[in-house]
Chains A and B, each alone.
Chain A
Amino acid sequence: DARVTQTPRHKVTEMGQEVTMRCQPILGHNTVFWYRQTMMQGLELLAYFRNRAPLDDSGMPKDRFSAEMPDATLATLKIQPSEPRDSAVYFCASGLPKQGTPYEQYFGPGTRLTVT
């Protein structure tokens, strides 16, 4: 049963610390998304990649967030320095476009981040 995996599942850190979240997309999926979920804002798209190249990162605060795909099996989202307002659940999702048609995204279980 292919799944998107995310680590860590929970992270508590102090303001100012660096946070790195990792995602392993489903093998063979070439598109990876990062979302943030909060009660106030709901689900927000932060960035997404296709074939490891960033297609859109307009949803990310550029001064503190960065997203990369070092290889096809790993996506990372980094926050440096972290702030209390970054507290949220961060989801990674992956998908595989087929002949240009909209495709479903498969979500990981999320990383619950708390910044104190």
Chain B
Amino acid sequence: AQSVAQPEDQVNVAEGNPLTVKCTYSVSGNPYLFWYVQYPNRGLQFLLKYITGDNLVKGSYGFEAEFNKSQTSFHLKKPSALVSDSALYFCAVRRDPNSGYALNFGKGTSLLVTP
């Protein structure tokens, strides 16, 4: 089954420091990977996706993610964290390699950026 794992329940980082939120994947076929963010009492918002091509994917709000096939990882990164980046972050993978584009989500990682 297509799945992703987020090994950290929470990540703490000081404002201005770089941040990384980790995600590893397990798939058969091409790994179509996504990152979403959820602010309190809100729905999820799309940040970025990897389909093929460049291993460094740039997304919204200054976020980027690095696809690493050998390590089966798709970590989310930002060079300089903002307090407003504090939210819940979800990694996701296409659910079925043969049809449709429904997603399986990870458990989520809570990011706390302190002033």
Contact = CB atoms under 8 A, between A and B. Distances in A.
Interface of A: 4, 31, 33, 42-43, 45, 48, 50, 55-56, 91, 93, 95, 97, 101-110
Contact of B43 (A42, A103, A109): A109
Interface residues on B, range: 20 to 34
Main secondary structure, interface of B, reads loop
Contacts of A101: 51
Interface of B: 32, 34, 36, 41-46, 49, 51, 90, 94-96, 99-108
A4 to B, nearest CB: 7
A33 B34 CA distance: 16
Contacts of B46: 104-106
Contacts of A91: 43-44
Contacts of B42: 109-110
30 contacts: A42-B105, A42-B106, A42-B108, A43-B90, A43-B105, A43-B108, A45-B104, A48-B102, A50-B100, A55-B99, A56-B96, A91-B44, A93-B43, A93-B44, A95-B101, A102-B32, A102-B34, A102-B49, A102-B101, A103-B101, A104-B34, A105-B44, A105-B103, A107-B36, A107-B43, A107-B44, A108-B43, A109-B41, A110-B42, A110-B43
